[in-house]
Amino acid sequence: MEITAIPFVHQTEVVSQKLFSDHLKLYQGYVDKTNEISLKLAASTDADLASANATYSTYRGLKRGESFALDGVILHELYFQNLVTGNSPIGSRTTRLLDRNWGSFDGWKEAFIASAKTARGWCILVYEQRTQTCRNMVLDSHDLGLICGAYPLLVLDMYEHAYMIDYDVNKAAYINRFIANIPWEVVEKRSGAVVR
C-alpha cells in the first residue's frame, strides 16, 4: 500500500522557514523509501523468503529498513503537527496525566527537558497503555527505544538537523522554544484516543 506525504505548511515560531522546508525534504525521503521498500517486499519471491535469516539476508534488510523508514514518516508527521498549530492552553485530561505522573506541569517540564537533552533522535511524551502511565521516552533512532503499546502524545525531533540551522549547538534554546509553543489541543486530542 503506497503512502503519500502530508502537505505541511510552516506556521511556527520554533524553527525558521528554511529549516522547516529542508526538514520536509527529509520527511519526503522517508515516505519515498517506505514506498520503495513496500514494493520490494510485495515482489519478494519464494526464494527470498526461503533464504531469510537473522545474520544477513535481503529480506532481513528490507524488514529492518521498513520499520526505520515507516517510523521516520510517522514520527515526523506527529512532530510537524506539534509545530504547525501554535500554542494553546493545556487541556484538563493532559493536566491530570502530567499531575498524576510528575506531580505537576513543572515536574513534567523539567523531566521532559532533561530527556530531550539526552536524546540523539527523538523525545516523546507517551501514554503507556499497559501500566496506564505517561513516560518521556528517548529514542536514539526512529526504530530504537519505542515501547510497544506506547501512544505518542507529544513528539520532539532531537536529531541535529531539526535545530542546528537555527540554534547552532544550543539544544536548550530549541527545547525551550518548542515547549513555549506546544499546541496543547493536539496533545489533548491524542490523549483522548487512549485515556478515558
The 10s digit of each residue's pLDDT in 24-77 is 999 999 999 999 999 999 988 877 888 999 999 999 999 999 999 999 999 999
Fold of 17-84: Helix Hairpins (1.10.287)
The confidence band for 84, taking pLDDT boundaries of 50, 70 and 90, is confident
> What proportion of the chain, given as a percentage, has pLDDT over 90?
87
**Tell me, what's the pLDDT at 16?**
96
Fold of 92-192: minor pseudopilin epsh fold (3.55.40)
Domain boundaries, the chain: 17-84, 92-192
Structure confidence by residue, pLDDT tens digits, 106-122: 999 999 999 999 999 99
pLDDT(196) > 80: no
Region for 119 from its dihedrals, namely left if φ exceeds 0, alpha if ψ lies in -120 to 50, beta otherwise: beta
Total-model pTM: 0.94
**Whole-angstrom Cα distance, residue 10 to residue 17?**
6
Q: Bridge partners of 137?
A: 124
**Tell me, what's the pLDDT at 86?**
72
DSSP code string of 171-196: HHHHHHHHHHT-BHHHHHHHHHTT--
